[in-house]
Chains A and B, each alone.
Chain A
Amino acid sequence: MSGSTFKSQAPRRMGPVAAKVSGLLESKYLGWIALAAALLAPLLTASPYSLNVMTTAAIFVMLAAGLNIVVGYCGLLDLGYIAFMAVGAYTSGIVSRAFDLPLFFTIPAVLVMTILAGLIIGAPTLRLRSDYLAIVTLGFGEITRITANNLAVTGGPSGIYGIPKLLTFGDFSVHSPAVFYYVTILIVAFFVLASARLGKSRLGRAWRFVREDEDAAEAMGIHTYKVKLMAYIFGAVWGGFAGVLFASHLTAISPKTFIFLQSALVLMAVVLGGMGNMRGVVVGALVISLLPELLRDLSEYRYLAFGLLLVVAMVFRPKGLWPARPHEDERTGAEPQTAVDAAVSRGESR
């Protein structure tokens, strides 16, 4: 084991500027600042185009927050994550059109369907090696897309259109772009906060233990299978709700939206942002979704650049550009990560 991956993170000496920037980035108000910025953004520019872009970016942030639970916290590679978004979007679309309900009231159905989807794909595969899991999720993503393409109830290749609004009170509709943007921001902020809190909970610590060393976690009495399944289900629910927002935003969905490319983009947001670090993931998601809007001219090369960036990032910074800091070490003053370090190097040299 070369020490480069799990180098112990001794406090580095920093210049005053670097210390200030680092302090700002680690500030506990950062989330509120970001939320305020998101809420104030429409005051700067509220053209339909920019509202559309910002709403899409917010939904993408929510997807990344969900995938971060699976990949970042628990270390399970999911290459078909967009399938959960498809399940959510299709469920809400079908149910709301069948019963003529606003999308808001389809949430129980979406919850049930996404949890079911998480169980169906997770239960048989989570006992497998992690790389098998990756390819099975890839297959699952394709199955979902092809099934949606083939079935009549999902509208076949043309999909579902004319999806009702999220919520309507008499004349007041939340579907005017600005109002919908604010609703989206609040929902996304709630889910981002929730997943950040989840990461710090007892379950979140179990996830990280499983990620660092599954055998040791098992030996410590963590039911690794159950814990991994929980990560999967949480990820599925996040994806499903992002799907509801997505369906409500576009009012039309089709199988072409849920291709592997989308799963890969969400994964890139999580990986480049810093696996396990919610702040990094939000930044990563914003970069991945907004950058193409800024670099329209280079659109042919952007995916190529993303792919190269992914490889380069993994080779030089395998934990992501802005990895999670081990908070426990500071609190307990213990030697950072030595136990895990040793266990990992033992595990890797098998």
Chain B
Amino acid sequence: MTQIIWDGLFVGSFYALIALGYSMVYGIIKLLNFAHGDIYMLGAFIGFVMLTSMGGLPGALGIGALLVVLLVSMALTGGAGVLIERFAYRPLRKAPRLAVLITAVGVSFTLQYGVSAIMGSNPRSYPVRLEGDVFDVLGARISLPQVLLMAIAAILMISLNTYIQKTSTGRAMRSISLDMKGSLLMGINVNSVITRTFFIGSALAGAAGVMSGAYYGKIDFMMGFLIGLKAFTAAVIGGIGNIQGAMLGGLVLGLLEAFGASVFGGEWRDVFSFVVLILFLTLRPTGILGERVTERV
């Protein structure tokens, strides 16, 4: 029981990290960024290339070097997110929604098969595998890397929350999500704030990518597809556009999935979470923390 809860929370913190990017972008420009899951994949591959070129991790500075790789990958995936926004989404900001959605599918496709063309389509195994002591807490087996990764995820999420609540850029983000035109008239540089949003969201996804590569040890060019869907589900559960909601949604989805898998069997795990998504969208499309939106269509 405690094992299921712990596993759920662990997977859920990955979902939460990725869901944040979905939710931020959606909150600000009402765009469903299908390519977000592939940014996660891109992050995993950037980390892979860096670690491989370093020839694995020297044992002594294991965690420190991994953190540096993590930060560099975050910067690079953030940059990729900015480029995608600049060249694919910005020209279409006022186009019909269908065109934007199709563009997002195109970007996702480009990222997947771009990586597949460069790195090959077979799964790669990560040069680093986080292993550590396992200890028992209330009957759950908890390993040191799990604690470490969850701590990193928590730090990233808390600092993001502070950033959005306390800084002027964060205030600008919140005001754009309420009313883009009004913010423009109030002297906010909307484009630069949107750029920053994409940078942060993509960097978080990139961090999740490196972390999952280092933990699970296997990456491939389609790895972002399913987790992107799950992260979107998490964002919807929490209330899309709501930052705290995305974190909560990630953890809730992780827990639901862990319990669902233990009841119905592991092979139904993905089906179960999509059914949860459809139920949520039908019964409470605004999610747990979302406010009622009057907007239609």
Asked if A pairs with B, the answer is yes
| Contacting residues, chain A, for B215 (C-beta < 8 A) | none
Decide: B277 and A318 in contact? CB cutoff 8 A. Answer: no
| Contacting residues, chain A, for B111 (C-beta < 8 A) | 307
| Contacting residues, chain A, for B295 (C-beta < 8 A) | 350
Decide: A130 and B109 in contact? CB cutoff 8 A. Answer: no
Is B99 part of the contact surface with A, judged by Cβ < 8 Å?
yes
Is B232 part of the contact surface with A, judged by Cβ < 8 Å?
yes
Q: Mark A266-277, 1 if CB is under 8 A from B, else 0.
A: 010001000100
Return the chain A residue nearest B276 by Cβ: A139
Return the chain B residue nearest A71 by Cβ: B98
| Contacting residues, chain B, for A134 (C-beta < 8 A) | 32, 101
> Which residues 289-337 of A sit at the B interface, judged by CB distance below 8 A?
300-301, 303-304, 306-311, 314-315, 318-319
Decide: A125 and B281 in contact? CB cutoff 8 A. Answer: yes
| Contacting residues, chain A, for B113 (C-beta < 8 A) | 301, 303-304, 306-307
Is B143 part of the contact surface with A, judged by Cβ < 8 Å?
no
Decide: B297 and A214 in contact? CB cutoff 8 A. Answer: yes
A2 to B196, CA, bound (A): 24
Is B159 part of the contact surface with A, judged by Cβ < 8 Å?
no
> Which residues 241-297 of B sit at the A interface, judged by CB distance below 8 A?
267-268, 270-271, 274-275, 277-278, 281-282, 285, 295-297
A269 to B105, CA, bound (A): 13
Return the chain A residue nearest B226 by Cβ: A142
Decide: B110 and A125 in contact? CB cutoff 8 A. Answer: no
Is A11 part of the contact surface with B, judged by Cβ < 8 Å?
no
Is B117 part of the contact surface with A, judged by Cβ < 8 Å?
yes
Is B229 part of the contact surface with A, judged by Cβ < 8 Å?
yes
**Contact (A307, B109) CB under 8 Å given A150-B268, A301-B117, A318-B99:** yes
Return the chain A residue nearest B91 by Cβ: A315
Give the interface size bracket for A toward B.
35 or more
| Contacting residues, chain B, for A71 (C-beta < 8 A) | 98
A267 to B106, CA, bound (A): 10
A91 to B114, CA, bound (A): 36
Which of B96, B99, B106 gathers most chain A CB within 10 Å? B106
**Contact (A314, B274) CB under 8 Å given A129-B297, A131-B97, A307-B107:** no
| Number of inter-chain CB pairs below 8 Å | 146
Is A138 part of the contact surface with B, judged by Cβ < 8 Å?
yes
**Contact (A77, B98) CB under 8 Å given A214-B297, A306-B109:** yes
Decide: B88 and A130 in contact? CB cutoff 8 A. Answer: no
A25 to B227, CA, bound (A): 44
> Which residues 120-138 of A sit at the B interface, judged by CB distance below 8 A?
124-125, 128-132, 134-136, 138
Decide: B267 and A150 in contact? CB cutoff 8 A. Answer: yes
Return the chain A residue nearest B273 by Cβ: A139
Is A140 part of the contact surface with B, judged by Cβ < 8 Å?
yes
> Which residues 92-108 of B sit at the A interface, judged by CB distance below 8 A?
92, 94-103, 105-108
A1 to B93, CA, bound (A): 9
Among candidates A135, A139, A150, A260, residue contacting B32 with C-beta atoms closer than 8 Å = A135
A348 to B268, CA, bound (A): 40
**Contact (A348, B103) CB under 8 Å given A134-B32, A139-B274, A306-B109:** no
A315 to B95, CA, bound (A): 9
| Contacting residues, chain B, for A350 (C-beta < 8 A) | 295
**Contact (A135, B96) CB under 8 Å given A77-B101, A125-B282, A130-B297:** no
A285 to B137, CA, bound (A): 57
Among candidates B92, B99, B108, B296, residue contacting A215 with C-beta atoms closer than 8 Å = B296
- Chain B nearest CB from A77 CB (Å) reads 5
- Chain A nearest CB from B86 CB (Å) reads 11
Is B225 part of the contact surface with A, judged by Cβ < 8 Å?
yes
> Which residues 248-265 of A sit at the B interface, judged by CB distance below 8 A?
260, 264
| Contacting residues, chain A, for B278 (C-beta < 8 A) | 124-125, 136, 139-140
Among candidates A125, A143, A310, residue contacting B271 with C-beta atoms closer than 8 Å = A143
**Contact (A130, B267) CB under 8 Å given A310-B103, A310-B109:** no
Decide: A142 and B96 in contact? CB cutoff 8 A. Answer: no
Decide: B268 and A264 in contact? CB cutoff 8 A. Answer: no
A348 to B97, CA, bound (A): 9
Decide: A318 and B94 in contact? CB cutoff 8 A. Answer: no
Is A5 part of the contact surface with B, judged by Cβ < 8 Å?
yes
A77 to B102, CA, bound (A): 8
Decide: A264 and B105 in contact? CB cutoff 8 A. Answer: yes
- Chain A nearest CB from B91 CB (Å) reads 5
**Contact (A124, B88) CB under 8 Å given A130-B98, A134-B101, A264-B105:** no
Among candidates B88, B98, B109, B229, residue contacting A138 with C-beta atoms closer than 8 Å = B229
Decide: A146 and B270 in contact? CB cutoff 8 A. Answer: yes
Decide: B117 and A304 in contact? CB cutoff 8 A. Answer: yes
A247 to B285, CA, bound (A): 38
Decide: A310 and B106 in contact? CB cutoff 8 A. Answer: yes
Decide: A2 and B106 in contact? CB cutoff 8 A. Answer: no
Among candidates B103, B109, B226, residue contacting A314 with C-beta atoms closer than 8 Å = B103
| Contacting residues, chain B, for A132 (C-beta < 8 A) | 236, 281, 285
B-side interface residues toward A, CB under 8 Å?
A: 30, 32, 87-88, 91-92, 94-103, 105-114, 116-117, 181, 225-226, 229, 232-233, 236, 267-268, 270-271, 274-275, 277-278, 281-282, 285, 295-297
7 contacts between A and B (CB under 8 A): A124-B282, A150-B268, A264-B109, A304-B113, A311-B103, A318-B92, A319-B99
Not counting A71-B98, A315-B87, a sample of 18 additional A-B residue pairs whose C-beta atoms are within 8 angstroms of each other reads: A125-B282, A128-B281, A130-B97, A135-B277, A211-B98, A264-B109, A271-B102, A304-B117, A307-B110, A307-B112, A308-B106, A308-B110, A311-B106, A314-B92, A314-B106, A318-B92, A318-B96, A349-B181
| Shortest Cβ-Cβ A-B pairs, 5 listed | A310-B106, A307-B109, A307-B110, A303-B113, A139-B274
